[in-house]
C-alpha cells in the first residue's frame, strides 16, 4: 500500500509535537506567533492555523485569544480516575491489607 505524503499542516504539527515530546518545548512555554511560524515553515497563515488547530485537538497546546498558543500539560488526572473506576468496575483492582 502506498502512503500519501503528509499535508503541510501535518508536517508542521508533527514537528511541533516532536519538539514537545523531546522536551525542546516545555509545558507552559509560548509557541512562536502565527506570523513567525509562517516565516519559519514558509507557509500561509491558513496552513499554520490548521496545524495549531490539529495540535489543540490532540491536546498538545492550548490557545489563549490575544496571547498566543502554549504547550499544554498532557497529563489529565481525570483520566487516572476513569481508569481506576474502570478497574474497580471490572474487578481488576488488587487491594493490599
Write down the residue that cell numbers 490532540 correspond to: 58
Other beta carbons within 10 Å of 54: 19
Name 64's Cβ contacts closer than 8 Å, sequence gap at least 6.
70
Which pLDDT tens digits describe the chain residue by residue (97 residues)? 555 567 999 999 999 999 999 999 999 999 999 999 999 999 999 999 999 999 999 999 999 999 999 999 876 555 555 555 666 666 655 444 4
Give the integer Cα–Cα distance in Å for 51 and 19: 14
Report the predicted TM-score, pTM, of the whole model to 2 decimal places.
Answer: 0.72
> 3 by DSSP, 3-state: which?
coil
Supply the pLDDT for residue 73.
87
B/e letters for 57-73, b = 16+ CB within 10 Å, e = fewer, are eeebbebeeeeebbbbe
Supply the pLDDT for residue 97.
42
Supply the pLDDT for residue 96.
43
Amino acid at each position: 500500500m502506498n502512503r500519501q505524503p503528509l499535508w503541510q499542516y501535518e508536517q508542521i504539527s508533527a514537528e511541533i509535537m516532536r519538539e514537545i515530546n523531546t522536551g525542546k518545548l516545555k509545558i507552559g512555554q509560548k509557541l512562536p506567533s502565527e506570523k513567525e511560524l509562517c516565516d519559519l515553515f514558509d507557509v500561509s497563515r491558513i496552513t499554520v492555523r490548521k496545524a495549531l488547530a490539529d495540535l489543540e485537538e490532540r491536546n498538545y497546546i492550548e490557545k489563549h485569544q490575544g496571547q498566543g498558543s502554549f504547550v499544554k500539560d498532557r497529563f489529565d488526572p481525570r483520566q487516572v480516575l476513569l481508569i481506576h473506576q474502570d478497574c474497580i468496575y471490572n474487578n481488576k483492582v488488587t487491594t493490599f491489607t
